[in-house]
Amino acid sequence: MYDDTAFEQLVQTVKLHALTDPVQVICDARTFKVAGQRTEATLLSAGVDAKTFIVPDQNGKSPICDETTKNTLNNSLPKTAVMIAVGSGVINDLVKWVSFERNIPYYVMATAASMNGYAAANVAATVNGVKTLMRAHAPLAVFAVPHIIENAPFEMTASGLGDALAKPVSSADWRLNQILFDEYYCQFIVDIVKELEPGYLDHPEGIKSRDPAAIESLFKTLFYSGVAMTLAGTSSPASGGEHLLSHALDMLSLRDHLDHDLHGRQVGIGTILSAALYEKLWAQDTVTLTPLSPHVDAAFWGALTDEVSGHYQQKLKTAATIANRFSNKDAWQKLKQGLTPFLRSPQTIKNCLKIASAAHQINNIGRYSTDAFTRVWQNCHQLRSRFTILDLAHMAGIMPVCACDLIKKWVV
Ligand SMILES: [Zn+2]
């Protein structure tokens, strides 16, 4: 529900439950002011017994979604009938996680078009220092008031744009898995957000100026991306190789006790680079695949080596099955034809991010040198078992050798 009456609609919906225990509103210090207070007030004035818990900041920064925070939240809450997440990424994931463990329903009052997890069943948490996706459950409904979404901090909206723009390459990566490994794939799920894409891709200036129509397209794309993941039962429709770059940056920052940028801002850069890989590979008339390196780069991953290696070993088994796949030129052409309809050029994606004033260069997302960033991109395919364009590029000899040139061409 994306409407000015969202608060009232949320309360009417919550009242349909047998409310034998209080309704628990969860927010952080910022979202309490933006929408948490009003959510609680609307519930109370409708006669609903509602309580609010504000997840505290950590070391002066916004809360994160990890086991410690989840346990603290869970231990702080009394018995409750329904939970309401008021916020965006972290608050949603924490409420999704706790309500799943308690086996109670939850709703969302969204506060920003910043990420695509609102309607998703997955929790993106940090477990043992590694970004992990855990299956939990989806909310019963998501509510949003347009002027709250339009007036969210701009960096959050720009982050959402990066996450939304990942759709073409993540869909291509998903289809790649179907063609190569006969994995489950659903065109209907991919097409869910197709009609919304022009609303922001063709009007990035509208994102910058907070134009209501452009922000609505963006918010709905992010919402339906979450629906797509829930329907598919996997994050594959909205998370491919472009996401691995962001996950790697997050994990390495955590390992080294450094800050990292917002998810979607990093994903946007990963998306430009994944699109560049597709473009470079697709320019080849033939391709010869060689096996992936048998080991992860321990010098690069350091303390994360064992964790990453477990995922990578799984991938090696899958990748080995396609060693001779394209010895026949027709098979390569067929793969290209199958994926081309999904793809957008790196230039199109970069222009959209640039015009919207979103992150589109390395120096927009932190103090990474070109060399350091290149190493992250060269290694990030190792941290998940799922095959992506990054792996195909490694097997085709484009990665790691061309990584630095592509980075200099597109994101420096
Ligand atoms: Zn994402």
3-state SS record for 260-311: CCCHHHHHHHHHHHHHHHHHHHHCCCCCCCCCCCCCCCHHHHHHHHHHHHHH
Q: Which fold has domain 157-410?
A: Dehydroquinate synthase-like, alpha domain (1.20.1090)
Instruction: Check: CB of residue 195 under 8 Å from CB of residue 187.
Output: no
Q: How far is the CA of 41 from the centre of ligand 1 (A)?
A: 32
Q: How far is the CA of 115 from the centre of ligand 1 (A)?
A: 6
Regarding pTM above 0.75, the answer is yes
Q: How far is the CA of 17 from the centre of ligand 1 (A)?
A: 32
Q: How far is the CA of 121 from the centre of ligand 1 (A)?
A: 13
Sequence-separated (6 or more) residues with CB below 8 Å from residue 371: 404
Q: Which fold has domain 6-152?
A: Rossmann fold (3.40.50)
- Measured CA to CA, the distance from residue 392 to residue 173 in angstroms comes to 10
The pLDDT value given to residue 328: 85
Q: How far is the CA of 411 from the centre of ligand 1 (A)?
A: 19
Written as six digits, the tokens of 19 are: 């409310």
The pLDDT value given to residue 93: 95
The pLDDT value given to residue 375: 97
The pLDDT value given to residue 255: 86
Ranges of residues in the chain with a pLDDT under 70 are 129
Q: How far is the CA of 19 from the centre of ligand 1 (A)?
A: 34
The pLDDT value given to residue 219: 96
The pLDDT value given to residue 240: 94
Q: What is the DSSP letter of 56?
A: P
The pLDDT value given to residue 205: 95
Domain range summary for the chain, segments of one domain joined by +: 6-152, 157-410
The pLDDT value given to residue 246: 94
- Measured CA to CA, the distance from residue 95 to residue 52 in angstroms comes to 13
Q: How far is the CA of 248 from the centre of ligand 1 (A)?
A: 13
Q: How far is the CA of 62 from the centre of ligand 1 (A)?
A: 18
Q: How far is the CA of 306 from the centre of ligand 1 (A)?
A: 25
Q: How far is the CA of 267 from the centre of ligand 1 (A)?
A: 7
Q: How far is the CA of 243 from the centre of ligand 1 (A)?
A: 6
Q: How far is the CA of 18 from the centre of ligand 1 (A)?
A: 35
The pLDDT value given to residue 146: 98
Q: How far is the CA of 287 from the centre of ligand 1 (A)?
A: 30
Q: Which residues of 313-332 are buried (b: 16+ CB within 10 A; e: fewer)?
A: eebbebbeebeebbeeeeeb
Q: Give kind and range of the element (H or E) at residue 398.
A: none
Cα of 93 vs its chain's centroid, Å: 12
